[in-house]
Amino acid sequence: MHENWDDATFRMCVFGGHGTGLSTILAGMKTPFIFVDIGANQGLFSLLAAQNQNCLSVIAFEPVPDTFGLLHANILNAGLQDKAILEMSAISMESGTTKIEMQPKHSGGATISGRSLDGASSIQIKTICAKELAQILPLTNDILITHEPQPA
């Protein structure tokens, strides 16, 4: 992954703060699957999924432009651009735009929940609804979907 030591989420990725639950599941997938990463952030789980020979493709959604840039760089650096579809949008109830709150130095702390975060900045992002999501997702293989949990 592209070095980003000032970011708490990057440090969690490097030092194993997410645990091994999902990485164990991804490594153990024995049949062809498509991995959908909602709130992909910098792409840790997308990268892990793509390493499994049974992963046909990764579809990663990350709405924050700066974080999306890191996701894109990480996919390119890993040589996975032919296996990944990257979407700079959030999944929401409605298509359009919404405000996202972002915590400084913690890309995983971004939220569209509508609640204010201490010290947060905000920008407008693109959202897509279930109908648009269905147009992106193929219906021919097993699909494993994950999302980054919202901060408490």
Q: Is residue 100 part of a domain?
A: no
The residue behind tokens 């298509």 is: 95
Q: Is residue 32 part of a domain?
A: yes
Phi/psi class of residue 84: alpha, beta or left (left: φ > 0; alpha: ψ in -120 to 50)?
A: beta
Q: Is residue 14 part of a domain?
A: no
Mind listing the pLDDT tens digit of every residue in the chain (152 residues)? 888 899 888 888 888 887 778 888 888 889 998 899 999 999 999 999 999 999 999 999 999 999 999 999 999 999 999 999 999 999 999 999 999 988 888 888 888 877 777 777 889 999 999 889 888 887 665 666 665 544 44
- pTM (two decimals): 0.86
Count of the separate structural domains present in the chain: 1
Q: Is residue 38 part of a domain?
A: yes
Q: Are strands 96-103 and 121-128 parallel, antiparallel or unpaired?
A: antiparallel
Q: Is residue 1 part of a domain?
A: no
Q: Is residue 63 part of a domain?
A: yes
The CATH number linked to 143 is: 3.40.50.150
Helices (H), 78-145: 130-136
Q: Is residue 6 part of a domain?
A: no
Domain range for 52: 22-94+128-147
Q: Is residue 141 part of a domain?
A: yes
User: DSSP label at 98?
Assistant: E
